[in-house]
Amino acid sequence: MPLPSRRICDFHMHSLISDGELLPAEIVRRTYVLGHRAVAITDHTDPSNMQHVISSLVRASEFISKYYSDFQLIPGVELTHVPPKSIPSLAREAKRYGAKIVVVHGESPVEPVQEGTDGAACSCSDVDLIAHPGYISREAVERARENGIFLELTSRGGHCLGNGHVARLARRIGAHLVVDSDAHDIGDLLTPKIAMGVAHSSGLTKAEAERVVYDNPSLVMKRLNL
């Protein structure tokens, strides 16, 4: 099967190490064929499972690197429903354990995430991406821009209700956006066409959508030193 000429990245996915349905190796194969050049598996963590999740994903990443020369599996975490004040220490701990990317589960409009999570995450230099940040405040977006933290436009049902708000504020303030799947199973995986659709339906122009889908992932990779 020929690969798409322009390949994408997805920095927010889940494997069966947390609540996903697929092994990391299957995620890699399926996303590779769909047109990805890199994916981050960011399984749900808090202090109870962080070390185990990261060590498992680091091993998976090392395994994949032996067999794919044109694809990267990035080990990471999604800090999920943790108290906002704990985010800086947990993000540092995740990096110390070997996570290459730290995602924070943002204030989705469909989950009871504690108020203040978006702001705390956007103020933390060890956080790289805020997942589905919902109706994030202007002040939090300004802090994300200052700290080089990326904001997610998501294809995930329910979570995607905040995409338009996130895109408008990011455009106005100059914060960087990416499109991610928050994939848990096969049906959630993105193609380049679907990723473009997510960006465009969030209110971005075609040129802005192309920049978010195809160019901004390179900025993420640069931030992660990959």
The pLDDT of residue 170: 98
Q: Is residue 152 a contact partner of residue 129, using CB atoms and an 8 Å limit?
A: yes
Domain boundaries, the chain: 8-223
The pLDDT of residue 43: 98
pLDDT per residue as tens, the chain (226 positions): 566 679 999 999 999 999 999 999 999 999 999 999 999 999 999 999 999 999 999 999 999 999 999 999 999 999 999 999 999 999 999 999 999 999 999 999 999 999 999 999 999 999 999 999 999 999 999 999 999 999 999 999 999 999 999 999 999 999 999 999 999 999 999 999 999 999 999 999 999 999 999 999 999 999 999 9
What is the edge-to-edge ordering of all strands in the sheet holding 150-154?
8-13, 36-45, 72-79, 101-105, 129-131, 150-154, 177-180
Residues 6+ apart with CB under 8 A from 105: 44, 78, 79, 80, 81, 111, 113, 117, 131, 132
- Say if residue 225 is exposed, middle or buried (CB neighbours under 10 Å; 0-12, 13-18, 19+): exposed
The pLDDT of residue 19: 97
The pLDDT of residue 4: 67
The pLDDT of residue 2: 61
Q: At what angle do helices 50-65 and 24-34 cross, to 10 degrees?
A: 50
Tell me, what amino acid is at 25?
Answer: A
Architecture of domain 8-223: Alpha-Beta Barrel (3.20)
For residue 75 the two structure tokens come to 């080990």
For residue 97 the two structure tokens come to 């354990």
